[in-house]
Amino acid sequence: MDTCPNCHRGLEADPPTCPHCGADVAALRSMLQGGTRPERSSPDRSPGGGLVQGKKAQAIVAAGILSAIGVLLLILLWPSKFPDMVLTPAASNPTGEDPCLVKDQCVVLYLAPWCGYCRKAISVAQGMIDKFEGTDTGLKVVVGSGQPDALEAMAEGIGVGTFLDGDRRLWNALGISGVPAWYLVDSHGTIRGQVSGYANMPMILKALGHEPEKI
């Protein structure tokens, strides 16, 4: 026996309207038959299915993090270049002699006249000049970050191979945050080591990673 789609009471025949509630039986049946509900994609109910997908997502995230760390380390550890710029020779270096021009490597020392430790570092630099004589290592001193008279006064106490950075171009290019600043630069202009502060010559050379067999 058919039932009314509206009141669900029995129908003895196939009337156009329900004798009990008066609903349009044909219209209701047509609407119910024509309306289809969208099928939902069922989640993976297989044993371990969700766990596998979760592990895949975690692996993708981990791979992305490792890649980002690798790029960051590459940037941080990649040797940087010493700025290639022309500096003004100090009055005590009238020929503009560059002690590092034909050397395999060079120790570059940046000093500032207002820095007490920089004045102490001059004696260390002079000791290096003597020690490097006849070797494949040179020493260049740059005096900057001060008034012109003060720069020249400090440079005079050092001697040859001294240059001035009165406009702080080299200071800014190197991003110096403390002086005395020491750099070990190879013949290709690559910075192989750097350290800031005052110490004796063996400690400075060790901190720079200087190769003893080259001195």
Angstrom distance (rounded) from CA 26 to CA 32: 10
Q: What pLDDT shows up at residue 21?
A: 76
Q: Quote the pTM value.
A: 0.63
How confident is residue 71, by pLDDT bands cut at 50, 70 and 90? Answer: very low
Query: DSSP characters for 111-127?
Result: E-TT-HHHHHHHHHHHH
pLDDT tens-digit map of 94-139 = 999 899 999 999 999 999 999 999 999 999 999 999 999 999 999 9
Does domain 88-214 fall under CATH 3.40.30.10? My reply is yes
CA dihedral 101, 103, 106, 112 (to 10 degrees): -30
pLDDT tens-digit map of 17-45 = 777 777 776 777 777 776 544 444 455 55
In the chain, % of residues over pLDDT 90: 57
Per domain, the residue ranges of the chain are 2-34, 47-78, 88-214
